[in-house]
Amino acid sequence: MEDKQMEKAVSRKLTLFCVICGVAVLVLMGATVIRDGEREWKHYQTQYREMLLKMIKKEDNPTFYQRVEEMKPEIRQVVVEEWKTVDRCTTCHQGIEDPLFVNAKQPFTTHPNPELLKHHPVDKFGCTMCHGGQGLATTYNGSSHQPIDNWPITLVAKGLMQSRCGYCHKDFEAIKADRLIQGRELYKEMHCAGCHQIDGQGGNVGPDLSNFADKDPSNFSYESIEGPHSKQTWVIEHFRDPKRVSPGTPMRTYVMNDDQIECLASYVLSLTQRGFSRPYSTKVKADFVPPKVDDTVPEPELSDAADDTGSN
């Protein structure tokens, strides 16, 4: 008798446990469905569809109008094999190549430089090649619109945008990259090659800058950095006050205004060892030859910090 009562008690507990588990699964599934429906990119696509329908007339192009009416939310992406990246930026930025959206607000507005897109079509080059950021993300925060501490590739600040041009184009004059040209000239004028090397030319007091753009942001010290812990912030602050950012560095502070600092930072951030075989990746090297070490100027004493990746 006692055994049967025990079996019934165990059976009731197991039944209750199964019911609770079933309810929990249903709740989780319901929450997943609700959360999936609330994804921000779906709202953006719905808004884009509604805005576009107001801009076009059905009688002008019935087929196109019907296609817009039938648009369903979907992840859109561009795969750039050589860049080894997947861009989903157009999942939200759907009007990026549409002149109808030139006066729209973000994320619907047309690219501010349509002429540039003629040579860099989004469907072939994506967006992160030029803008940085996390192309796989489908959220504002995840895509790194605001810098993420120690994140490998954060969205490039407006003043440093030309640094990405230097990844592919080495002939700065040909593409009229004025900030890269100025940054390169500052590098020459301040005799940076006296301590740093680029492609085997220059001194060896400070770190080799040939692959500065390829260095991981986590290799830098951010103890004295105010603001996001990104490589962009680090290099700007380092040029502004080297000894504050890298205590013990032999590098002195140069008198530069904010614009000059951004130009020099753009040039340094463009230095990469990544090679590209596509036609846009010109094989013509810049005519700049870093100056040799000036023997008339005594080299600063080496310090332990000078050998560190993030010191100079």
218-247 confidence digits (pLDDT tens): 889 999 988 888 999 999 999 999 999 999
pLDDT tens-digit series, residues 40-51 = 999 999 999 999
**Which residues fall within 8 angstroms of residue 262, CB to CB, at 6 or more apart?**
159, 160, 179, 236
The predicted structure's pLDDT at residue 297: 41
pLDDT, one tens digit per residue, over 52-61 is 999 999 999 9
Q: Is the dihedral of CA 68, 71, 74, 80 positive or negative?
A: negative
Least confident of 18-22, 68-72, 168-172: 18-22
Q: 154-163, 220-229, 250-259, 301-310 — which is least confidently predicted?
A: 301-310
> In the numeric block, which tokens belong to residue 304?
């332990």
Whether residue 174 is predicted with pLDDT greater than 60 in this model: the reply is yes
Half-sphere exposure of 144 (CA within 13 A, CB side): 24
pLDDT of residue 281: 44
Report residue 244: phi and psi, to 5°. Answer: -75, -45
| Cβ atoms within 10 Å, residue 305 | 18
DSSP string, the chain: -HHHHHHHHHHHHHHHHHHHHHHHHHHHHHHHHHHHHT-HHHHHHHHHHHHHHHHS-TTT-HHHHHHHHT-------EEETTTTEEE-GGGT-TTTT-GGGTTPPTTTPPPS-HHHHHHS-HHHHTTHHHHBS-TT--STTTTTSSPPTT-SSPBPPGGGTHHHHHHH---TTTTT-HHHHHHHHHHHHTTGGGT-EETTEE-SSS---TTGGGS-GGGS--TT--S--SHHHHHHHHHH-HHHHSTT--PPPP---HHHHHHHHHHHHT-------STTS--PPPS--PPPP-TTSPPPPP-GGGGSTTT-
Contact 44, 107 (CB under 8 A): yes
- pLDDT of amino acid 165: 92
Neighbouring CB atoms inside 10 A of 306's CB total: 20
Across the range 117-144, mean pLDDT stands at 90
Q: How does pLDDT run across 68-125, given as a tens digit for each residue?
A: 999 999 999 999 887 788 999 999 999 999 999 999 999 999 999 999 998 899 998 9
pLDDT of residue 295: 39
Amino acid 303: pLDDT: 37
302: left (phi over 0), alpha (psi -120 to 50) or beta: beta
The tens digit of pLDDT for each residue in 261-306 reads 999 999 999 999 876 655 444 444 444 444 444 434 444 443 333 3
Mean pLDDT of 253-262: 95
Nearest to 290 by CA among 173, 181, 179, 188: 188
Most confident of 8-12, 33-37, 196-200: 196-200
Measured from the Cβ of residue 266, the count of other Cβ atoms closer than 10 Å reads: 27
Give residue 2's pLDDT. Answer: 63
CA distance 238 to 243: 8
Residue 158: both structure tokens together: 């407006």
Residue 1: the pLDDT is 61
Bigger pLDDT: 99 vs 27: 99
When pLDDT is cut at 50, 70 and 90, the band that residue 186 belongs to is very high
CB count within 10 Å of CB 77 equals 15
pLDDT band at 19 (very low <50, low <70, confident <90, very high): confident
CA-to-CA distance for 81 and 110, rounded, in angstroms?
A: 25
Note whether 70 and 84 are within 8 A (CB).
no
| Residues of the chain above pLDDT 90, percent | 54
Comparing 92-96, 138-142, 144-148, 237-241, which segment has the lowest mean pLDDT? 144-148
Write down the pLDDT at residue 283. Answer: 44
Task: Indicate the average pLDDT of the chain.
Answer: 83
Mean pLDDT, residues 166-190: 93
What is the model's pLDDT at position 228?
A: 85
